[in-house]
Structure 1
Amino acid sequence: MSGKSKKKFRIIMSSLLSLLLLLGVAGNIALAYFSDVITAYFTTIDIESAEAVEARGQSEIVAEMIADEGIVLLQNNDNLLPLATTSENKTRVNVFGWSFTNPIYGGTGSGKVNAETAVTPKSALENAGFEVNEQLYNDYEALDIERPLIDMDGQDWSIPEPAPSEFYTAERMQQATDYSDIAIIFIARSGGEGADLPRSMDGPDTFDPEGSAFSATGNRYGYEDDLDPDKHYLQLSNREQGMVDAVTEHFDNVILVVNSSNTFELGWVDEYSQIKSIVSVGGPGQRGFHSLGKLIAGEVNPSGRTVDIYTRNLLDPPAVTNFGDFDYVVQNEDGSYSTAVDAMGVPLKFVDYTEGIYIGYRYYETAAAEGVINYDDEVQFPFGYGLSYTTFEQEVVPGTLRWGDEVVTFDVSVTNTGSVAGKEVVQIYYSAPYTGNIERSAVDLAAFAKTDLIEPGESQTVTLSFHVEDMAAYDDNKIYSSTGGYVLEEGEYSIYLMNNSHEVIEEVGSSNLQEIVYDSGRSTDLQVPVNQFDEVVAGEGSITTYLSRENGFANLDQLIKYEDFAVTDEEGETKTVQGKLVDADFVNLVNSVRYDVPEDANTEPPVTGADNGLTLEDYTDVDYNDESWNELLDQLTIDDMVSLTTLGGYRTIEIESVGKPATVDYDGPSGITAFISNSPVSGIAFPAGIVLASTWNVDLALQMGEAVGAEGQAYNTTGWYAPGINIHRTAFSGRNFEYYSEDPLVSGKIAAATIVGYESQGGFVYMKHFALNDQEDNRTNAVMTWSNEQAIRDIYLKPFEISVKEGGASGVMSAFNSIGTVWAGASSSLLKEVLRHEWGFQGTVITDMYIGGFYPYMVFEQAVRNGNDLLLTGVAPIGVPETVDSDSIDMQWAMREASHNILYMVANSSAIEDGLSTDMPQWVVYAIIVDILLVIGIGTGFYFTFRKPKGQREARIMA
């Protein structure tokens, strides 16, 4: 080899070897950075241990109990249900609807759990003693249709059903009528994270074969006879309509089963006298269809009640008008229009809560009281409605009413006047005076209770109570004070015992109360509540008119202020968008709020890296405000604090300097779902959140929390990304399945009990999504959510408040959306003033999924400075902030505070009992071996690359 060739060879080889060395070093840095994630991934969890098997068994029992009480019987004409059946003489049934062969068990996205071993509706009916028309069932299966995907990767809104004229032939229907005179119609709808449900099955919601993740991609199958712009996803499709017509033509005894966690439009049932019974099963989870079979057979007496109002037209509620995809638009110099974007290219999207407090039953009951609507024309089933196979009589026990200055309490006697045992829901509502100063609905739920199983002729006395201050409303217009606050206006307050939000059983009592301005805060407030959101709910881009009860909702028609704009995108294509025109000043304001980090105010940095000899174990049960925490926090290094606050995806990391163990944290609201372990860890699929709420049984919620917590302990899981407690603002939210209700009291009480149950087992929750994350559309575009402070506090924050004050929640997950112009995960007003200072929250706030570069408005510096302690950064390097301004003194103090919050939460969990990991993980051993081999290989490569041939070496020696 010539001298030139040798030199070129050495340059190439040395470059390759150097690159290999650099990659090796970088790989080791990455492995160290994500060591706890990799350890969690390669850690085998014994899911068949005695502890795990016992926990799953208990969860299955509780899950079925929830479904037993959470399924709602909406109609039962002629007492068609229950259907009599015995083991010797089984009742035959025909079940129509393709979804019976492929039902919905829950929702999709992070709230999805494994339901592969779930009870199917067919096996449930057979277990309950029914014979199902096998030929009809097999005919549906022979269609070979797959359940359309509705997930974060895209949504296929097809509603699979065969063409009626082709499937429901005279021959097939004759076979069915010969088989049985009973027909069940099974209809299902799905929903999940990433997109809201279509309000038109045509137009912009039509399937786009190139649709992307997080976007509605329409109707895949091209069922031309189902593409109907006048129908939405929660109505009967045209094919389903044909099925209903065929079934009711041949059967006089029809049962409708609705398998949907979103309220389904059912007004059409009134046109079919043959449909005697309606059963809403929601998303029943692992064991829920077993409960359906038992309910139809009469083994279970239904006791569920609706937690959302059923309107005859789901597009009619005021909130629906301002729900969906809306753009801010800017005018260009040439007069054309473009959609506004921020400095990082994020589209400026918004949604207006113009209805204020008037969502769900609050609007309809008030509109009826004002004489604006005919209630029966507008509402099919009220909030809190549900039927039973028995009858009950409820009455207030005379002489038990105690209306004190602070508490209202009384007893209700519930008597089973029917012939079978059953449970009843006791519902208490109050009516506050409407003065015109503060918006008040005609009725509000004040308290509720679920009875035990009451035998025929037996009674149970239930004691109900609530605080007088619970009837106060928030005065955001500062009529009664200069700062805003809670006010009990002067006037007559009445309390009612009711069957539901519309039917009064009796008036419990009424009282003329004097005006009370809670200028020192309510009894549960640690800091006086004042307006916290004025700066984000006012100005250009915000709402100027909110729905008011004044003069019978006279301003209802004034709420829609959107225009249609023809905008041109970067590719030169023109499309029409709905939205508002804003100027450059508004765009600059958004940019400043999102991306401008203030200058440091502190001049002295915190102490770091001290050697005080303390460990986190020393701080179990130590008060959050105890000054001795500072000695522990002084031991943290800057790198410790950066890692602890940024590496939060499905875990909190180990910090050796303070003896903090790593924790494993999993989703989701319907049960534990593993994302980062190679073990098949998947908790029992509990019924969807709305089914749990429909039980109106706080004790069952407690038992669910305990059961999930026990599973978590068996799987070495400490944190739980749950419960989900946003409000069902409309029927079309994609995540209604994992949230509870349109009502904040039901949502808060069920969530608080679930939290108490889970945390009693040693874990901690991250209740979510805080706050006003009540739609999926544009959530990852930081959709600017505009509302007034009364609605924010009295409706949307209320369930979170109850979960903190009564549930003792240890963790919170902030939301993707913005409140006004401020990202919810960086709102000091929300996360510090309201959550911590007013409510007394002591724990950790984590973001929703943080992926660096994908959601640039989720600025770490903004988050940690304003009360968000931890980034949910996932398990990949792309999920970590590219840079952290750790040289900033203010950032150091902010990270120290965030670290305190994380350490406090972990110190009071079962994770502290396990301590730091001491055994070297097997993957580390393998990595060390690979490193040794790599070093030997690279060293050998350099040696032979630059080694002189033997002859040259000898010649040099001789010379």
Structure 2
Amino acid sequence: MKKNRSLIITLSAIVIALLAVAGIGYIFISNLIKQGVVTMNDIMTTINKVGTYFIPIAIILVVIIIALIVFRNRSKKFNFWLKWESLVAFFLALVLTLNIVVFVPMSALFNLNFAKLDQVSASTVAQSNNVNENIANEGTVLLKNTNNYLPINAKNINVFGWASTNPLYGGTGSGGAVGANSVDIYQSLKDAGFKTNDSLSKFYTKYRKTRPDISMMKQDWTLPEPARNDYSNKLVNKAKNFSDTALVVLGRSGGEGADLPKDMGAKGVTYNGNKGDFKKGDNYLQLSKSERDMLSLVNSNFKNVIVLINASNPMELGFLNQYKNIKGALWMSGPGQKGFSALGKILKGTVNPSGRTVDTYARDLNKTPTYNNVGDFQYTNASYKYVNYVENIYVGYKFYETYYQNNNAAYDQAVQYPFGYGLSYTKFSQSMGDIKQSVNGKIHFNVTVKNTGKVAGKDVVQTYYTAPYTNGGTEKASTNLIDFAKTKNLKPGESQTIPFTLDREDLASYNENNGGAYVLDKGRYQIQIKSDAHDVLGSKDYNVPQTVTYNSDNKRSSDKKVAKNEFGYAEGNVDYLSRKNNFANYSQATAAPGKEQLSQNMQQGATNVKNVQYKKSNAKMPTTNANNNVKLAALRGKSYSDPEWNKLLDQLSVKDMNNLITYGGYQTVGLNSVDAQHTYDFDGPSGLTSFMVKNMNTTAFPAAAMIAATWNKNLAKDRGSMVGKQGSEIGVTGWYGPAMNLHRNAFAGRNFEYYSEDSILSGYMAANEIAGAKKHGVYAYMKHFALNDQETNRTNKLMTWSSEQAIREDYLKPFEMAVKDGGATATMSSFNFIGNKWSGANSNLLQNVLRGEWGYRGLVETDYFMGAGYMLGNTGIANGNDLMLSTNGEMGANITHTDNPQTVKNMRNASHNILYTVVNSAAYKNDKGNQSLLLPWQKSVIQFDIIAAVIVIVLQGIVIVLYRRKYVKKVN
């Protein structure tokens, strides 16, 4: 009986130890899932990966149990040793296995989850808040101001609209911003000296406290607006007695993972609002019935109504002119955690709004050129999804200004607010000086801005050009933004002269004929200053006497290699919109696609990726494991082609390179062989955030759309500088931002995260943000490279078809400017395919254009590594993608066929690109190559191991003492 009891106690101890380990693991994993860091699929992948490491534990456990059962009738001495040594052996095996697991397959996750970061200094937090407020001050757009009603003199304001109690600070997903430590609408009004009606705010809070969830996991598109009958007569009468002034807040959310519904009645759209809010065919960017009823109620009872549009996606705003008492309207994209402070100041008049729209506000979104070609389309004979960029180069205002070039009446019927539109509390005049041309092809002119009004304010000078167009020739929009500038704060009567310098090669269009080239056609170019994309303030002619072709004999001065056709394969079998004969093919080109099939050649090309060779070749295996004693820190500041790089790369082992490439999720791993530090890369476009690191005091800045709405390059640089400064202080050197895809359509879920419908505005903003962050040693990942302009099917083998001219002039242009003007050294590729080539393994994009034409030096990382059957580490590194955004190394991220010389060469190139970017970051600012490469959690594990070893030694000592007391003394 005693022997059985002893056996039960021993087995129970083992089971308790196993349950303790399982419990800790469960808590850790549950925390990761709850925070949204990983999905259950990630967990299952990780379990599959680490499962083999626990097989020895299971074997040892089985052997121990068998031994205890089989030998339970042996002598007491034997069973004494067997029992205790079994426990010690199991404990040692468990500790050893856990060490292997945390230091090998789980190290990347541990690096992140147990990151020990510093806090942002109080002075930097204050500076960041100031930048946040400045962006909101200048990025808020005054859309309407009837009879100069704003700013207001009223002291009391009734605030209507449920969104007033739950405003949008940004979007959701990696670029999201929430209301923590923020200034809300009511606080903003209070700080500006206004009193608000508490009865209304309590009414809305009681109606619903939280905003419906729009996330990657699920989307609830409910607009929680009370129905008309919910407003009691008592509530309305009390509001009327409180003030005759009403502020109505309307909000629309968006986020990563889903596009906004084009049809609220479509299958799969979740809406739990009031019955009848939307009918089939209504879209999310229209007013709901409850909102219309609320506006009617307010308009009927209050003579002074102001509307705040709190949305990053351009809504249909025709209602602003349908209610006579709406005297003012403002647009605020997500203003970040402190940006709503601008609202009260603007209403009060202490801040004069100077923002401009970043998109064209169409009156009917169902009639835009892209409407029929945004959404979910699948080939009938293949598993691939697709989207056709049928509008060609005519994105946003480029279509409207060209299509309605000679018909202002029709233009006004189609467009409510042009791109670049915005009012002010004062008036300005702009006068354009004569054009001067220098011998190096530069175009110079001045613009003088004068404040002719009665209050101080800032103005925006917008410079556009019109190129000569030949019917049926190269596609050209009639209006093209080329540069812009924001004035200082001008007092009444004060003037400022702003010099502009343009490069005439930037007036060239891409021509796909004869192998492709940028071509500056001869003829008369109009250089114009405008108040927005539609209204001309001044114009000068610039004549080009002879056509200039920028080919192999005469490349553009900004290019390292001449541009030529790279994306002809991506045009597919699509009828693209053409200006020919006044857009004669408009109806045909912009129609919804029919039942499309994908050719066998295209299907095969999607899987047979270029440059991937697994067969053994006669190529020489690159040197590895050399003992050159070169430390990475010694290469800081050296050129990419410095000979020392080869010596350093020779020191890397295949395992080093594989770990560096594979475990690139939110970090770069440390490498002892070259004294490479571990570094952190964090989301996202709104500022540095991490799901895994708690209590970060970084700033949630305004959405990219609001930054662009400032039309202020200096503020963009200030924002980037603050992100960089915060990163350098807390120990984060990589920033997954800014994002610079285009607002191709109003319904894209991540439009808040992207700047604009225009490539030039986007490019200038991105270049300045990147340069600002770089000043502090933080490398910004420009993303998503490229043509990632919708969320629908983005991870579901989405083939994006576009003309090469549109790809270059619209969708790649912001990235080109970020490289050439901003000095970008980090890039995030995209989930989608360009044509039938995944962007992350597209040598035309990543090698020929990015590194070849533009001269880019730096790393390229995938978007979040989901495998999905096409994201593969091997194909990525063979075609210019260096780093996998993976934390577990599975689903194809891990590099295979490492016995192949070409694979190892690809790994070496990828490692070079990664290490080049990292060593020139803040991580190595003061590193002489002698500091510890162990992370805090690794030191903690080693400390645990030491304690475990001490415990084992102590236990062994106790066992010996017990044995001697129990058995040796009895013998004596």
Q: Same fold (TM over 0.5)?
A: yes
Report whether the alignment pairs 1:637 with 2:709.
Answer: no
Partner of 2:715: 700
Report whether the alignment pairs 1:141 with 2:195.
Answer: no
Partner of 2:321: 270
What is the alpha-carbon distance in structure 1 between the residues aligned to residue 303 and residue 895 of structure 2?
69
CA shift in 2, pair 1:236/1:483, >3 Å:
same
Aligned-partner SS, 2:539: strand
Q: What is the correspondence of 1:83-162 to structure 2 with a 5 Å cutoff?
A: 83-84=152-153, 91-162=155-226
TM-aligned CA deviation for residue 447 of structure 1: 1.3
Q: Tell me if the contact between 1:734 and 1:776 (Cα under 8 Å) persists in the aligned partners.
A: yes
CA shift in 2, pair 1:795/1:169, >3 Å:
same
Mean Cα deviation higher: 18-27 or 702-711: 18-27
Q: What is the correspondence of 1:243-642 to structure 2 with a 5 Å cutoff?
A: 243-330=294-381, 340-341=382-383, 348-369=384-405, 371=407, 374-397=410-433, 399=434, 401-402=436-437, 406-435=441-470, 436-476=472-512, 478=513, 482-519=514-551, 520-537=554-571, 542-559=572-589, 579-582=595-598, 586-593=602-609, 599=615, 603-642=619-658
Aligned residues: 893
Partner of 2:701: 686
> Any idea what the Cα deviations from partners look like across 1:79-101, whole Å, max 9, x if unmatched?
1100126xxxxx11111101101
Q: Tell me if the contact between 2:742 and 2:811 (Cα under 8 Å) persists in the aligned partners.
A: yes
Higher helix share: 2
What is the alpha-carbon distance in structure 1 between the residues aligned to residue 336 and residue 844 of structure 2?
37
Report whether the alignment pairs 1:902 with 2:914.
Answer: yes
Q: Which residue, 67, 71, 74 being the options, matches 2:140?
A: 71
> Any idea what the Cα deviations from partners look like across 1:692-749, whole Å, max 9, x if unmatched?
0011100111111111111111111111111111111011111111110111110000
Mean Cα deviation higher: 829-838 or 4-13: 4-13
Aligned-partner SS, 1:293: helix
Partner of 1:60: 129
Q: What is the correspondence of 1:695-734 to structure 2 with a 5 Å cutoff?
A: 695-734=710-749
CA shift in 2, pair 1:725/1:605, >3 Å:
same
CA shift in 2, pair 1:831/1:925, >3 Å:
closer
Q: Which residue, 853, 863, 879 being the options, matches 1:866?
A: 879
CA RMSD of superposed structures (Å): 3.1
Q: Tell me if the contact between 1:352 and 1:543 (Cα under 8 Å) persists in the aligned partners.
A: no
Identity fraction in percent: 42
Partner of 2:102: 31
What is the alpha-carbon distance in structure 2 between the residues aligned to residue 114 and residue 879 of structure 1?
32
Partner of 2:69: 9
Name the aligned partner's letter for residue 590 of structure 1.
A
What is the alpha-carbon distance in structure 1 between the residues aligned to residue 283 and residue 610 of structure 2?
36
> Any idea what the Cα deviations from partners look like across 1:190-245, whole Å, max 9, x if unmatched?
111010001111122432xxxxxxxxxxx2x2532224213111110111011011
What is the alpha-carbon distance in structure 1 between the residues aligned to residue 544 and residue 599 of structure 2?
50
Name the aligned partner's letter for residue 824 of structure 2.
A
CA shift in 2, pair 1:447/1:586, >3 Å:
closer
What is the alpha-carbon distance in structure 2 between the residues aligned to residue 922 and residue 361 of structure 1?
53
Partner of 1:775: 790
Aligned-partner SS, 1:505: strand
Partner of 1:576: none
Partner of 1:891: 903
Q: Tell me if the contact between 2:670 and 2:933 (Cα under 8 Å) persists in the aligned partners.
A: no
CA shift in 2, pair 1:514/1:269, >3 Å:
same
Mean Cα deviation higher: 171-180 or 410-419: 171-180
CA shift in 2, pair 1:372/1:787, >3 Å:
farther
Aligned-partner SS, 1:835: helix
**Which runs of 5 or more residues in structure 1 are unaligned?**
86-90, 208-218, 331-339, 342-347, 565-578
What is the alpha-carbon distance in structure 2 between the residues aligned to residue 932 and residue 280 of structure 1?
60
CA shift in 2, pair 1:283/1:925, >3 Å:
closer
Name the aligned partner's letter for residue 750 of structure 1.
M
Partner of 2:282: 231
TM-aligned CA deviation for residue 489 of structure 1: 1.7
Partner of 1:575: none
TM-aligned CA deviation for residue 913 of structure 1: 3.0
Q: Tell me if the contact between 2:380 and 2:597 (Cα under 8 Å) persists in the aligned partners.
A: yes
> Any idea what the Cα deviations from partners look like across 1:545-571, whole Å, max 9, x if unmatched?
10001111111111256566xxxxxxx
**Which runs of 5 or more residues in structure 2 are unaligned?**
8-62, 73-82
Partner of 1:174: 237
Q: Tell me if the contact between 1:474 and 1:790 (Cα under 8 Å) persists in the aligned partners.
A: yes
TM-aligned CA deviation for residue 23 of structure 1: 5.5
Q: Tell me if the contact between 1:36 and 1:662 (Cα under 8 Å) persists in the aligned partners.
A: no
Q: Tell me if the contact between 1:37 and 1:676 (Cα under 8 Å) persists in the aligned partners.
A: no
Aligned-partner SS, 1:162: coil
What is the alpha-carbon distance in structure 1 between the residues aligned to residue 547 and residue 439 of structure 2?
15
Q: Tell me if the contact between 2:378 and 2:385 (Cα under 8 Å) persists in the aligned partners.
A: yes
CA shift in 2, pair 1:563/1:692, >3 Å:
closer
Q: Tell me if the contact between 2:185 and 2:341 (Cα under 8 Å) persists in the aligned partners.
A: yes
Partner of 2:680: 664
Name the aligned partner's letter for residue 126 of structure 2.
G
TM-score w.r.t. length of structure 1: 0.88
What is the alpha-carbon distance in structure 1 between the residues aligned to residue 255 and residue 611 of structure 2?
31
Partner of 1:335: none
What is the alpha-carbon distance in structure 1 between the residues aligned to residue 935 and residue 851 of structure 2?
38
Mean Cα deviation higher: 311-320 or 423-432: 311-320
CA shift in 2, pair 1:498/1:925, >3 Å:
closer
Name the aligned partner's letter for residue 699 of structure 2.
I
Mean Cα deviation higher: 787-796 or 314-323: 314-323
What is the alpha-carbon distance in structure 1 between the residues aligned to residue 260 and residue 310 of structure 2?
15
Aligned-partner SS, 1:461: strand
CA shift in 2, pair 1:661/1:508, >3 Å:
same
Name the aligned partner's letter for residue 130 of structure 2.
I
Partner of 2:53: none
Partner of 1:194: 257
Name the aligned partner's letter for residue 152 of structure 1.
M
TM-aligned CA deviation for residue 55 of structure 1: 1.1
TM-aligned CA deviation for residue 413 of structure 1: 0.8
Aligned-partner SS, 1:765: strand
TM-aligned CA deviation for residue 464 of structure 1: 1.1
Q: Tell me if the contact between 2:860 and 2:882 (Cα under 8 Å) persists in the aligned partners.
A: yes
Q: What is the correspondence of 1:799-948 to structure 2 with a 5 Å cutoff?
A: 799-851=814-866, 854-874=867-887, 876=888, 881=893, 884-915=896-927, 917-918=931-932, 923-928=937-942, 930-931=944-945
What is the alpha-carbon distance in structure 2 between the residues aligned to residue 175 and residue 879 of structure 1?
61
Partner of 1:183: 246
Partner of 2:16: none
What is the alpha-carbon distance in structure 1 between the residues aligned to residue 913 and residue 602 of structure 2?
35
What is the alpha-carbon distance in structure 1 between the residues aligned to residue 590 and residue 743 of structure 2?
21
TM-aligned CA deviation for residue 834 of structure 1: 0.3
Q: Tell me if the contact between 2:873 and 2:895 (Cα under 8 Å) persists in the aligned partners.
A: no
Mean Cα deviation higher: 592-601 or 838-847: 592-601
TM-aligned CA deviation for residue 118 of structure 1: 0.7
Q: Which residue, 728, 747, 762 being the options, matches 2:762?
A: 747
Mean Cα deviation higher: 224-233 or 299-308: 224-233
Q: Tell me if the contact between 2:246 and 2:306 (Cα under 8 Å) persists in the aligned partners.
A: yes
Q: Tell me if the contact between 2:451 and 2:490 (Cα under 8 Å) persists in the aligned partners.
A: yes
Partner of 2:669: 653
What is the alpha-carbon distance in structure 2 between the residues aligned to residue 22 and residue 728 of structure 1?
56
CA shift in 2, pair 1:702/1:10, >3 Å:
farther
CA shift in 2, pair 1:560/1:305, >3 Å:
closer
TM-score w.r.t. length of structure 2: 0.87
> Any idea what the Cα deviations from partners look like across 1:816-854, whole Å, max 9, x if unmatched?
111011110110010010000100110110111114xx5
What is the alpha-carbon distance in structure 2 between the residues aligned to residue 300 and residue 835 of structure 1?
42
Q: Tell me if the contact between 1:113 and 1:683 (Cα under 8 Å) persists in the aligned partners.
A: no
What is the alpha-carbon distance in structure 2 between the residues aligned to residue 691 and residue 316 of structure 1?
26
